[in-house]
Chain A
């Protein structure tokens, strides 16, 4: 440890990752967030350099510095209106997905009749390209938040249903037998055994669905909206203000990332036992 230069050869023979045993590599690996941020900065630098070097026009690919000025061209108030509009629809669709999907998954696993009757319909809904249905939904439900929330819901709920049902059916047989041998009420078998056992599955789906919810909100805005990041990107593109469109896209990605991280943090905070533990 005190002589990294000489110990490097011996330690790298046991460790597969040679860079991690160099002092700088070790520092980077140990500092949380250091490596992804460095990678990101490197990509931005290459991007900036390449667009300048090859003179790429900004409507093809604006340099990061041009995107920054595009971001500046729009007031913070307008940005926050767009962000809030998209966020609101995504979150509403997401929460409705959860509220619908969990009971639905319970029903699907409890009753053979419900399973046989509903599951094919769910698959049909999932197989229907929501993007194609979106204009119809807008016509039917008008131009408020409602149609956009419905579109978001349709895109986000299916993984939740399938994962929750799978998790509930993956409960060890012995625990179900224990529950039956205790003659406990059936609803406690669900709340105290099956649903908790499905938590890791539910969180996998929650992570997928939150990003799908953002996609759903944007798709809805593409079809009919006068606000929101999806609307803004489409509008800016049609006005040939590409740097602004890229700035909107950047915010959208950031929004998605933050929401995804919030789900991850919630899992770590409330269900630490459900995190995967095996070494990579």
Chain B
């Protein structure tokens, strides 16, 4: 049998992780309808790291919530792994802008919370996995601490470990580092790359920081505001693995400059 007739296993045969086809979203608000997204079309490959860059209020978070199945778009089609999104899926992890941990639960209990929440109880294997994830995000020894006793960066690490617990194929991150100070933010970015390289996933990373988008992503989608549309879709011309040296790369500065002028032009 010719090989090209049977669907070959591997990345070539898998449908795109996430596909948007002319997606629009209009919210009914007290002041009348608000068009958050218009005609948004893009596709993200499996294990691709895509940053969505745009000014605040451009519908970036709406985009993420549509993929998560938390809101249904008012126009167009959204598919995840070839299937239309009608409700939340098991294979998607979300990291929010604020870590939003449970203040009464210790770090380990916060990480296993998705399991307690869906199944009602937590097994020792789940706890073992949680501890491994915690040591992966650099929080070994903090399992029994309360969220309150951790710094903002450490809390967000717990949030990331929680999102990774179910080993999702897709990781949605809604400005996850924007509440952190500049140094911690950069450090967390490199940490995320390390985790992503160890456990490849499709990542949709929402940010309003140009350098963060360029440093982390394979591809950058630039959004314009009111209504939110994709105005640019660029491959980041930087080799992997990336690290501190990447920040000194001239190509990075040129590309970041290109994105900056794009955003400024839109704003003007």
Contact = CB atoms under 8 A, between A and B. Distances in A.
Interface in A243-280: 271, 273-274, 277
B78 interface: no
Q: Which of B92, B104, B117 has the most CB of A within 10 A?
A: B117
A269 to B, nearest CB: 14
Contact of B102 (A177, A180, A196): A196
A192 B69 contact: no
A199 B1 CA distance: 66
A192 to B, nearest CB: 6
B94 A178 contact: yes
A174 interface: yes
A57 B68 CA distance: 77
B197 interface: no
Interface of B is mostly: loop
Contacts of A116: none
Nearest to B96: A174
B176 to A, nearest CB: 11
Nearest to B146: A273
Contacts of B233: none
B194 interface: no
Contacts of B103: 273-274
Interface stretch (A33-41, A64-72, A181-189): A181-189
B116 interface: yes
A175 B94 contact: no
Nearest to B97: A174
Contact of B98 (A172, A182, A193, A196): A172
A180 B90 CA distance: 11
- Which of A178, A196, A271, A274 has the most B CB atoms < 10 Å from its CB? A178
Interface string A188-222: 10001100100100000000000000000000000
A273 B117 contact: no
B98 A183 contact: no
Given A177-B68, A180-B88, A192 B100 contact: no
A172 B97 CA distance: 12
Contacts of B146: 273
A205 B65 CA distance: 35
Interface in B74-119: 87-88, 90, 92, 94, 96-98, 100, 102-104, 113-114, 116-118
Nearest to A172: B100
A196 B117 CA distance: 13
Nearest to A189: B117
A11 interface: no
B100 A273 contact: no
Nearest to B120: A188
A181 B68 contact: yes
Given A179-B117, A181-B92, A182-B118, 19 more contacts: A174-B96, A174-B97, A175-B102, A177-B65, A177-B96, A178-B94, A178-B96, A178-B114, A178-B117, A181-B68, A182-B88, A182-B114, A183-B88, A184-B117, A192-B116, A193-B117, A196-B102, A199-B104, A273-B104
Please name the 9 residue pairs, one residue from A and one from B, whose CB atoms are nearest each other, closest first: A174-B100, A174-B96, A181-B88, A184-B117, A273-B104, A172-B100, A182-B118, A184-B118, A181-B68
10 contacts: A174-B97, A177-B65, A177-B96, A178-B117, A181-B88, A182-B88, A183-B118, A192-B113, A192-B116, A193-B117
